[in-house]
Amino acid sequence: MRATILLLMAMPLLGQDAAKPADAPKQEATKEEAKKEEPKKEEAAPAAAAPAPDASPLPSNESWITGYVEAGYRWRSGIGGSADTWRSLVNLGSGPKFTGTDFTILDPKHRLFERLRVRAYDWGDPWSSLHIFAEKRGLYKFLADFRQMAYFNNLPSYADPTFLIDQQSFDTKRRMGSYDFEMFNGHLISPYLNYERDSSSGRSVTTFQTGGNEYAVPSLMRDTTDLFRGGFHVSGNRYHLTLEEGGTIFRNDQDTYTTKTNPGDNPVPFIGQTLNLGTLSQAYGVRGTGTHSKVIGTASPFSWLDLHANFLFSQPSNSLNYQQYDTGNLVVLSTLLFYTNEQYLVSATSKLPHTTADAGFEIRPFSGIRIQQSWMTDRLHNSASANQVDKFLSAGLTTTTLPQAYLAYNYNQSETSIFGEVSKSLTLRGGYRYVWGDVRDAVLPPEALTTNPSSTMHRHVGLGAIIYRPSPKLSLTGELEAGQSTGEYFRTSLYNYTKVRMMGRYRLTNTLRISGDFNYLDNRNPNNGTSYLFRNQRESLALDWTPKGDNWTFEANYTRCDAHSQISYLVPQLLSPALSVYRDDCHALSGFLNGTYRKIKINAGGAASWTSGSRPGSYYQPLAKVVAPVNKSLSVFAEWRYYGFAETFYAYESFRTHLLTAGLRYTR
Amino acid sequence: MRSTRVVLLLAALGAYASGAAPSSKESSKQLGAAAHKAGTPFGDDFAGSSTCQMCHEDIYKNFRKSAHTFVETDKRGGWDEHGCESCHGPGAKHAGSATAEDIRNPLKLTAVETDKTCLSCHLNTAKHSERISSSHMKDAVACTSCHTIHGNGPAGLVARGAAQVNSLCSSCHKDVAVQFAKPFRHKVPEAEMTCVDCHNPHGSNRKAMVQSFAANDVGCVKCHGDKRGPFTFEHAPVRFEGCATCHEPHGSSNPRMLVRQEVKSVCLECHSNMPAVKTPAVGSPMGVVPPAFHDLRSPRYQNCTVCHQKIHGSYADRNLLK
């Protein structure tokens, strides 16, 4: 019986073609009927014979490879101002640069591939990338994406500003690779495999914090995440199913070692004693694994109904082995215990099952009416435990704590939208979203001022939109979202809010288009003790001008933004209420002129921003580039860039630098 | 008897799943399939792609080099040698009159109608499984706004190069694009990153159509793997409200893309609740005021992350110190 059932279930699958147009003409015509039809086709197209199905898509007189390769040399002027800020923001240097290549190979005989596309950019710079795409339709599709990025960050204003030391600075390199391989793409069943690797390594300056003082110390850090996943798509005429299983392997190591006496940030004697750090050895070792499952299903059982459902589950878990040994003149604040050497050992484990599921449908009961309903739930529960052993060797004291941590997050959402096409040019949308959930965060046993907070939240949101497109020249879109909440997770969470978004596009002439955008968010939490007001407004005006077809184009974009926030808070040392006010008024401008003058391509423009308010400053990034042809396939290029950054309150972080790059470009 | 019913039910389901059921009426009208002659693949209304090629040579050449060329060549799809008419409908009348009114041009249709044409093939795919969550769909942004259906030569149906992708997105999202003129931002203008590295333009079950990692983790941890956890001691807002609680990913005037000009403001705006003040019904906002030795008048306490360095979550310390 089971065999019969399985056979019956398998038969339709075996008999089914790959995904095709839902209403593709049936191909069951007999050969005789097909022969009768042939002359009609020939009458319709006497001069052009229909191509054979496996004919090359590449006309014989076209090149099988197209693309370009570009390389040059860059000179950088001296950095005027802060070299650290320059490296944190831009980080471009002098030297030979492989600025980029982008080429496509179309194999007319479809041997290993039909199409191979390779793109590589910015090799020799702090960030570089390589992308490879190869496809042989019906057999495989391969996509590789590799990027590396040097991440340097050292901003004195981010550390203790008194000592101008490099606390919380990084000099690391991050590498990211993603490799996708899909087989039998376009068939009923297409399996796929994917491997991703994200790794980072480098140096940093971190802080060793212990009672009453903190010490900047050098650190080595390294982390790697490997993701493996595989699955298959089942694609039918009116349904789709994806099943995927995957796993992650995570490693994170951080080592700190110093033998240099370090006075720390606090030079003031504490109860008559000067605190300092003599030696420190710290080692973190985090190892983790995780699994995930993904089920995606869609179906269109009737012309008026579309269904979808997703089920996603992941469960990463980590374990820690931490060892610390330190000497010096140190203190435990809570017990006023002075000590000269300490050993601190921690082992811990954590596990985070995370389930996300959503489902929905779109129903079209009448012409011009669409109703969409969706539900979603997202719930994660982290549970962790640790074993902390602190040995104060000089004092002969050992303390052991066994904290248990628990964090739970449950989010639910239900949304209904109705679309009404009032006319060909006017669409109205209205909807309602209900969001509810609860959170809990607990660490046991509780510490002095910590609590085990929990909160619930219910939010009712009204949605509305108008889309008006009376002609190809004009397009207007307006959206409104207004929410009312009961309960919040954080004082700055969305509470009672209004969001407005408007976009307009108008083609004044055949060569001139203007567009405008307006975004507004107003969020208020009037609850006693919070009194939060946040308003963010952004207006943008853009212009596209193509005075001579595509030979010359000019685009400009101006945006003004205004963010204003105020919230009451408690000053920790006094527990007295105060007001935190933040303002960010910015003007940002970008513009480019592209054109060709006597075969010389010109590209000039750039971007600039000016900010006033809580952190006033300016940032200029103009550039100009010319490309002059030497012959049909070879051209020379030269590019100038300028970076100028200034801050009013942190003037020592400003910089300005010129860059000049020249090189050759080969195009085929 | 019961087993027979099960078998019959499964057989019926299987037959339905195999596509043996009649095609939908609506789509039939839409694609002009009603003009098919009974028992023949194409009716008199259809001209065949070779006829289209005679006048639209450039488009035809591009189309044949594009990924859509299989519509023209793959017999299983049912449109072999009639790829043009799979979207434009029957073309014989247009071939005879050579007038634009006699052919269906998806570019001149409403976004909903254009999408219907594309989705007649592409709807039931993993990529579009979150379509109804997509703000592009909600705002009637047609597939053809981003995709060049005839193919852009060997470049394909949509921009792939990082700079081209960003340029495509910014052609509509101009107010977002210009935020990258600010000093502290992701490397998008440098084309090291693209908008679609973080956002899924086809829809996602996350806010702002953010991508995901390993099934349902937020896409940010694809590059920031060390922030993924799970940590022994979590920092709740990272899990509950996401990275944008403290960071402005598109661009900020503040270091580390923070939402405030200094670290203490970011922290203290939440960490200002007295412990044990709790409304039983709904709880209370999370974030307890720091102990009194955090004297804000001292520069040592201006940047909380100098000490609380594991601010995204700690494996070893409940106060996120190490």
pLDDT on residue A529: 82
**Cβ within 8 Å, pair A15-B283:** no
pLDDT tier, A36 (very low <50, low <70, confident <90, very high otherwise):
very low
Residue A411's nearest CA partner among A453, A354, A496 is A354
Rounded Cα gap, residues A455 and B278, in angstroms: 9
Q: Is the pLDDT of residue A205 over 50?
A: yes
Q: Mind listing the pLDDT tens digit for each residue in B133-154?
A: 899 999 999 999 999 888 765 5
Q: Is the pLDDT of residue B269 over 90?
A: yes
Token pair of A184 as six digits = 């039998």
pLDDT tier, B281 (very low <50, low <70, confident <90, very high otherwise):
low
Helix, strand or coil for residue A550?
coil
Rounded Cα gap, residues A413 and B3, in angstroms: 40
Of A167, A300, A570, which has the smallest distance from its Cβ to B272's Cβ? A570
Q: How far does B276 lie from chain A, in Å, by closest CA?
A: 7
**Cβ within 8 Å, pair A352-B129:** no
Residues A255-263 have a mean pLDDT of 92
Of B16, B48, B181, which has the smallest distance from its Cβ to A588's Cβ? B181
Q: Mind listing the pLDDT tens digit for each residue in A343-368?
A: 999 999 999 999 999 999 999 999 89
pLDDT on residue A449: 57
**A&B contacts, CB < 8 Å:** 565
* B181 and chain A in contact, CB less than 8 A: yes
pLDDT tier, A61 (very low <50, low <70, confident <90, very high otherwise):
low
pLDDT tier, A323 (very low <50, low <70, confident <90, very high otherwise):
very high
Contact status, residue A310 vs residue A359, Cβ threshold 8 Å: yes
**Cβ within 8 Å, pair A573-B294:** yes
Q: How far does B149 lie from chain A, in Å, by closest CA?
A: 15
pLDDT on residue A306: 95
Residue A200's nearest CA partner among A172, A163, A171, A164 is A172
Helix (H) or strand (E) holding A140: strand A140-153
pLDDT tier, B301 (very low <50, low <70, confident <90, very high otherwise):
confident
Chain B residue with the nearest C-alpha to that of A128: B192
**Cβ within 8 Å, pair A303-B24:** yes
Least confident of A33-37, A149-153, A375-379: A33-37
Contact status, residue A437 vs residue A412, Cβ threshold 8 Å: yes
A607 chain-B contacts, CB cut-off 8 A: 178, 180-181, 189
pLDDT on residue B236: 93
Residue B110's nearest CA partner among A413, A420, A626, A520 is A420
Provide the mean pLDDT of chain A: 87
Token pair of A264 as six digits = 């720390």
pLDDT on residue A175: 96
Q: Is the pLDDT of residue A32 over 70?
A: no
Higher pLDDT, B13 or A149: A149
Residues B117-124 have a mean pLDDT of 89
Q: Mind listing the pLDDT tens digit for each residue in A430-470?
A: 999 999 999 998 888 887 655 667 889 999 999 999 999 99
C-alpha R_g of chain B: 28
pLDDT on residue A6: 41
Q: Is the pLDDT of residue A57 over 60?
A: no
Q: Is the pLDDT of residue A2 over 80?
A: no
Chain B residue with the nearest C-alpha to that of A227: B214
B183 chain-A contacts, CB cut-off 8 A: 89, 609, 617, 619, 645
Q: Which of residues 102-131 of B touch A (CB under 8 A)?
A: 108, 110, 112, 120-121, 123-126, 128-131
pLDDT on residue A21: 37
B154 chain-A contacts, CB cut-off 8 A: 66, 104, 106, 115, 117
**Cβ within 8 Å, pair B213-A447:** no
Rounded Cα gap, residues B58 and B55, in angstroms: 9
Residues A328-338 have a mean pLDDT of 87
Give A50's DSSP letter: P
* B55 and chain A in contact, CB less than 8 A: no
Of A102, A214, A290, which has the smallest distance from its Cβ to B161's Cβ? A102
Q: How far does B137 lie from chain A, in Å, by closest CA?
A: 11
Which one of A180-194, A242-256, A518-532, B293-307 scores highest in mean pLDDT?
A242-256
pLDDT on residue B30: 42
Q: Best mutation site among A23, A26, A275, A587 for testing chain B: the one with the most B CBs within 10 Å?
A: A23
Q: Which of residues 274-303 of B touch A (CB under 8 A)?
A: 274-278, 281-297, 299-300, 302-303
Dihedral class, residue A156 (left if φ above 0, else alpha if ψ from -120 to 50, else beta): alpha
pLDDT on residue B21: 34
Q: Is the pLDDT of residue A411 over 70?
A: yes
pLDDT on residue A196: 96
**Cβ within 8 Å, pair B234-A314:** no
Q: Best mutation site among A20, A560, A653 for testing chain B: the one with the most B CBs within 10 Å?
A: A20
Rounded Cα gap, residues A434 and B134, in angstroms: 18
pLDDT on residue A528: 81
Q: How far does B46 lie from chain A, in Å, by closest CA?
A: 8
Which residues, at least 6 apart from A289, have a Cβ–Cβ distance to it below 8 Å?
A247, A248, A249, A250, A316, A317
B293 chain-A contacts, CB cut-off 8 A: 333, 573
Residues B85-114 have a mean pLDDT of 89
Least confident of A41-50, A116-125, B22-31: A41-50
pLDDT tier, A418 (very low <50, low <70, confident <90, very high otherwise):
very high
**Cβ within 8 Å, pair A517-B174:** yes
* B207 and chain A in contact, CB less than 8 A: no
pLDDT on residue A165: 64
The sign one gets for the Cα dihedral B310, B315, B319, B322 is negative
Residues A583-594 have a mean pLDDT of 94
B229 chain-A contacts, CB cut-off 8 A: 316, 318, 350, 352, 382
Which residues, at least 6 apart from B22, have a Cβ–Cβ distance to it below 8 Å?
none
Tally of helices (H runs) and strands (E runs) in chain A:
3, 29
Q: How far does A647 lie from chain B, in Å, by closest CA?
A: 10
pLDDT on residue B135: 92
Rounded Cα gap, residues B107 and B117, in angstroms: 11
pLDDT on residue A33: 38
Q: How far does A328 lie from chain B, in Å, by closest CA?
A: 18
Q: Mind listing the pLDDT tens digit for each residue in A3-15?
A: 444 443 343 333 3
pLDDT on residue B302: 83
pLDDT on residue B153: 58
pLDDT tier, B38 (very low <50, low <70, confident <90, very high otherwise):
very low
**Cβ within 8 Å, pair A491-B42:** no
Which one of A52-61, A88-97, B65-74 scores highest in mean pLDDT?
A88-97
Higher pLDDT, B13 or A651: A651
Residues B211-234 have a mean pLDDT of 93
**Cβ within 8 Å, pair B92-A316:** no
Q: Is the pLDDT of residue A286 over 80?
A: yes
ipTM strictly over 0.90? no
Chain A residue with the nearest C-alpha to that of B258: A158
**Cβ within 8 Å, pair A312-B215:** yes
pLDDT on residue B155: 62
Q: Best mutation site among B269, B273, B288, B320 for testing chain A: the one with the most A CBs within 10 Å?
A: B269
A534, β-bridge pairs? A523, A565
Of B42, B239, B263, which has the smallest distance from its Cβ to A407's Cβ? B239
**Cβ within 8 Å, pair B69-A57:** yes
Cis peptide before A156 (omega within 30 of 0): no
pLDDT on residue A257: 94
Q: Best mutation site among B150, B178, B187 for testing chain A: the one with the most A CBs within 10 Å?
A: B178
The sign one gets for the Cα dihedral B307, B311, B314, B320 is positive
Q: At residue A306, what is the residue type? A: D
Of A49, A186, A590, which has the smallest distance from its Cβ to B178's Cβ? A590
**Cβ within 8 Å, pair A580-B268:** yes
Q: Best mutation site among B61, B63, B174 for testing chain A: the one with the most A CBs within 10 Å?
A: B174
Percent pLDDT > 70 in chain A is 88
pLDDT tier, B37 (very low <50, low <70, confident <90, very high otherwise):
very low
Q: At residue A397, what is the residue type? A: L
* B227 and chain A in contact, CB less than 8 A: no
The sign one gets for the Cα dihedral A523, A526, A527, A528 is positive
Residues A639-666 have a mean pLDDT of 95
